[in-house]
Amino acid sequence: MSALKFTLEHESENAVSGTRPRAGVVRLKSAVDSSSAGDANGSVSDASCDTAKEFVIHTPQFMPVGTLGTVKALTVDELKTAGAEIILGNTYHLYLRPGHKRVEKLGELQKFMAWDGPILTDSGGFQVFSLAGLNKIDDEGVTFQSHIDGSYHRFTPELSMEIQRSLGSQIVMAFDQCPPYPATKDQVRAAMSRTLNWAKRGLKVPLKAHQARFGIFQGGLYEDLRIESASQICSLEYDGFAIGGLSIGETPDLMQAMTRVAAPLLPKDKPRYLMGVGRPEDLVEGVAAGVDLFDCVMPTRNARNGQLFTSLGKVNIKNARYADDSGPLDPNCECDTCRRYSRAYLRHLFVCGEILSARLNTLHNISYYLKLMRDMRKAIFENRFDEWRENFYRLQKSG
């Protein structure tokens, strides 16, 4: 039995842009026995998937980012209450600290962080290019310096698969090369061909029985290269596909326009993932284009900086205008932050640098993002996505 099963439940017309927002279900497996699923020498579990617990993800869905084995400031119970169905872990960070072999010995990432749900791990590639110190790329892989202590390391497509195998995530991402923005057509073409080569090499590395794989295609902002890269990557045996190389510095308009080109290039019967996107309006436009999965650090990172997303638009909680505001942060949100605390109190906590500020702000932002996805899914089923989208923008401007 396959490690991933995708069912496209409903596809609706989106008259505004001519694209097709869609709703579906992704089914994933747990490791059969997390205490013995992977041993210290990295051998592959041969346990049957048939007795594994099944995880169900309703799409479109947003995946909160748990960089270092934690979605910053939240407990796993709070994540569940907020409605999280799947979270993301970062290969680069977990490889450096605490080390993937250690995580595996401790029962893989799910058990290590006590998260009773599925996890998607990225390949580490994006962080190696964007976060690490000096990096040197060649056809075989990338040599880089740790951002923590400057030590030298080397990632290859094979090692990325081995690390993600040790972490035991349900969805393993292919190791790709994301060209910078802006990039010339030749640079993008070179990254595309390396990405294809690495996607093929990664497929040769065996994973555990419960692990599914996603391929990533590139092509920058060049429509013809997107078409070429999508057809190359989608010819390979992956369980789902991701649109890579967007939200890396281009304007939101360009990113959204390329999403409308890119999403329909992917097979209808497999999940589509738009990596690293984005703001609430980017999620709305992504869903409109037919994307199923999203991730972004924005709701968690911005929460810690006092920037809160609400159904009535953005709230910068440190603003003096909230000092005497006894109303809830978002009257349309049912999270604990909005049900129990006032804007004035949230502002006070932020201004004083209280730890609770980061916790309550993050809880709200994540709850808001996840409810936004649920609302869109409902609107798709009810064939009123266009109407819902208009109302979303109207409310965003009303705050």
Which stretches of the chain bind Zn ion, using CB under 5 A?
330, 333, 335, 337-338, 364, 367
- Active-site entry in 122, 176, 239, 282: 122
Give the distance from CA 213 to its chain's centroid.
14
CB nearer to Zn ion: pick between 158 and 325:
325
Catalytic residue among 176, 239, 295, 330: 295
User: How many CB atoms sit inside 10 A of residue 78's CB?
Assistant: 18
DSSP label of 339: H
Nearest CA to 305 out of 252, 368, 264, 358 is that of: 358
* Closest distance of CB 247 from Zn ion, Å: 25
For residues 250 and 65, give the distance between their C-alpha atoms in angstroms, rounded to a whole number: 22
Q: How far is the CB of 310 from Zn ion (least distance, A)?
A: 8
d(CA 391, CA 191): 40
Shortest spacing between CB 335 and Zn ion, in angstroms: 3
| Closer residue to Zn ion in complex, CB, 171/333 | 333
Q: Which is nearer to Zn ion, 175 or 368 (CB)?
A: 368
Backbone angles phi, psi at 120, to 5 degrees: -110, 130
Report in angstroms how near the CB of residue 278 gets to Zn ion at its nearest: 20
Q: How far is the CB of 329 from Zn ion (least distance, A)?
A: 6
Nearer Cβ to Zn ion, position 183 or 338?
Answer: 338
Residues 241, 270: Cα–Cα separation, whole Å: 7
Our CB check for Zn ion shows the closer of 154 and 279 to be: 279
Nearest to Zn ion of 343, 364 (CB atom): 364
Q: Report how far residue 356's alpha carbon sits from residue 242's, in angstroms, rounded to the nearest whole number.
A: 35
Long-range CB contacts (< 8 A, 24+ apart) of 73-80?
Answer: 73/300, 73/303, 73/304, 73/358, 73/359, 73/361, 73/362, 73/363, 74/359, 74/362, 74/363, 74/366, 76/113, 76/114, 76/115, 76/116, 78/363, 79/115, 79/117, 79/366, 80/116, 80/117
Rounded Cα distance, 292 and 42, in Å: 32
User: Residue 214 is which amino acid?
Assistant: F
Q: Is residue 192 a contact partner of residue 225, using CB atoms and an 8 Å limit?
A: yes
Comparing CB distances to Zn ion, the nearer of 208 and 364 is: 364
CA 36 – CA 32 distance, rounded (Å): 9
Indicate if 122 belongs to the active site.
Answer: yes
Which residues fall within 8 angstroms of residue 224, CB to CB, at 6 or more apart? none
CA 113, distance to chain mean position in Å, is 18
Nearest of 8, 2, 4 to residue 268 by alpha carbon: 8
Q: What is the CA radius of gyration of the chain?
A: 21
Give 247 or 362: the residue with its C-beta nearer to Zn ion: 362
Q: Phi-psi region for residue 183, left (φ > 0), alpha (ψ -120 to 50) or beta? A: beta
Question: Which residues are catalytic, by number?
Answer: 122, 295
